[in-house]
Amino acid sequence: MPERLEITQDCLNPPLEQSIEYDKPHEECGVVGIIKRKETENIAQRIGDGLQTIQHRGQEAAGVAVGVGTDKVMALKDVGLVAIALGGNKLSGLPKGKVAVGHVRYGTIDTHTPEEAFEAAGPSLAEGSKGTIAIGLNGNLLNINDLVAEFGVDADEHVTDCSAATAAVAAAREHCDSLAEAAVMVFSKAKEAFTVVVMGEGQLIGIRDPFGFRPLMLGTYPNDGGYAMASETPALKTMGASYRREISRGEMVVCDQDGTLTSSYPFQEKPSKLCAFEFIYFSAPHAQLEGRSIKKVRTEMGRILAAEHPVEADIVVGVPESGLPAAEGYSLASGIPLVAAFAKNRYIGRTFIIPGQESREDGVERKLQVIGSEVYMKRLVLIDDSMIRGTTSKKIVAMLLEEGALEVHLRLTSAPYKWPCFYGMDTRKPEELIANQIPDLRELKEYLGVTSLAYLSLAGLRAATADAAGKLCTACMDGNYPTPIYFSEGKATNRPPK
């Protein structure tokens, strides 16, 4: 039987804190995995280190699962940041092992009760006659109800897509010759998006959906003959592995404890549609994606933004952290000095979202403060990566003006975010998107209180990311969804209306 934590009072009543990240898009998860040829006492700690490196991909819950032999799993999970959920000596309670997976999750307080938030923490576990399996999933399965029903699983009994899909794989395993075959049976029927790490029967399996919406990296342990997987390249390094390559869209990689790696492409080929926001916001600046430095791409976005939307100003200011590389690029291209005008409190963590605009605005000042001497009597270009709901941008502009800034020219390194995402981000309500609410730029400028407002064009985005072939998914900015999207009872689905 898998071991799990008891729900404590702290789990049910976590501290509520709102941060500047509220006004950003959020992925729902980040995943890591390790398999070694020899049992390692610190394998759980290695997974924890990897999860801390991708903490920005999910800040509501974290968990680690370690394989014991080939049929048992012991897991530790909790709500909160990795340092809270898995910190201290908690991971030392997990056994040494050869294989382990980890998961960080993003979720909002208006979609889960505190009890459900605990249950939603990954990795998800399921038992079968061949043993226990653990799965970490990054994405959103549009057809989850139909998918799991086919395998005799009641979706209503599961809080997350990951939990339901894990139960489906366990059910499919009863009729398949291998865990890999069962995973293919389930995920070949899944409607995107999904990046998955699967642990069970002494194996580590990585799967990336045929569109490749979300990244998954493969690393090696040359001295051991083992392998590692992670949502981003820096996590591989943190876990002590060497980067080998990206797992390709539609690929399944099966790693065994004897050092064997098998690659196959069991899914129907689809056009490449990596999420553009991996370059704009999600990935860490020191990450590599499709052979390109994220920081260099964002710096190039700033350069192009300066060429597309020049302005006379005294200083360029970037909103920490993801706006800083683009601000550097804007400064280099325009010749306007780059100034660090914000002090960010790095010790205010993000837990659950406080509902209500007043609480959201108060949270911005707790997280970010203006260095008044740097902006007083200055005309400034404010660089940020995106604007989703608009509340944070409006507050930051007001803070700058209160400190004596003469003009604030807002420049964003994404096109207007007008359409909700159904491929693993949390923006599924069109009415929450400020570019939808106020489509006229003049009205939006007045609402924000800025002197001028401009976005990077889609052409500029594609130039900065070397995407001349249109391989990035930009559905949230242009409405061109790569898969059919329908709505039924207020929810998105891939099933057309009857």
- CA distance readout (Å), 150 to 98, 186, 197, 485, 491: 33, 9, 22, 21, 20
* Sign of the torsion formed by the C-alpha atoms of 486, 488, 493 and 494: negative
pLDDT of residue 427: 67
Q: What does the block give as tokens for 344?
A: 């960010």
Question: 133 in helix, strand or coil?
Answer: strand
Please confirm, yes or no, whether 255 is among the known catalytic residues: no
Question: 154 in helix, strand or coil?
Answer: coil
pLDDT of residue 67: 95
CB 181 within 8 A of CB 236: no
Catalytic option among 29, 162, 255, 473: 29
- CA distance readout (Å), 321 to 340, 344, 465: 11, 9, 19
Q: What is the pTM of this model?
A: 0.89
Q: What is the enclosing helix (H) or strand (E) of 327?
A: helix 324-334
pLDDT of residue 143: 87
CB 459 within 8 A of CB 399: no
Give the separation between CA 470 and CA 390, rounded to whole angstroms.
Answer: 28
Q: What is the dihedral of CA 219, 224, 226, 230, to 10 degrees?
A: -40
Which residue from 66, 54, 78 is spatially nearest to 214, judged by alpha carbons? 54
CB 50 within 8 A of CB 105: no
* Sign of the torsion formed by the C-alpha atoms of 375, 378, 382 and 388: positive
pLDDT of residue 362: 56
- Each residue's pLDDT, cut to its tens digit, for the chain (498 residues) gives 233 322 222 322 223 233 445 466 555 689 999 999 999 889 999 999 999 999 999 888 999 999 998 889 999 999 989 999 999 899 999 999 999 999 999 864 444 567 777 888 889 999 988 999 999 999 888 888 888 889 988 877 888 889 999 999 999 999 999 999 999 999 999 988 999 999 999 999 999 999 999 999 999 999 888 999 999 999 999 999 999 999 999 999 999 999 999 999 999 889 999 999 999 999 999 999 999 999 999 999 999 999 999 999 999 999 998 899 999 999 999 999 999 999 987 666 543 333 344 444 556 767 789 999 999 999 999 999 999 889 889 999 999 999 999 999 999 999 999 998 888 876 667 778 999 999 999 999 999 999 999 999 999 999 999 998 889 999 999 999 998 877 655 566 655 655
Q: What does the block give as tokens for 318?
A: 């970037």
- CA distance readout (Å), 348 to 28, 137, 207, 344, 480: 21, 27, 34, 9, 37
**Which residues sit opposite 30 in a β-bridge?**
104
Q: Where are the beta strands (DSSP E) in 319-431?
A: 342-344, 368-370, 379-384, 407-412
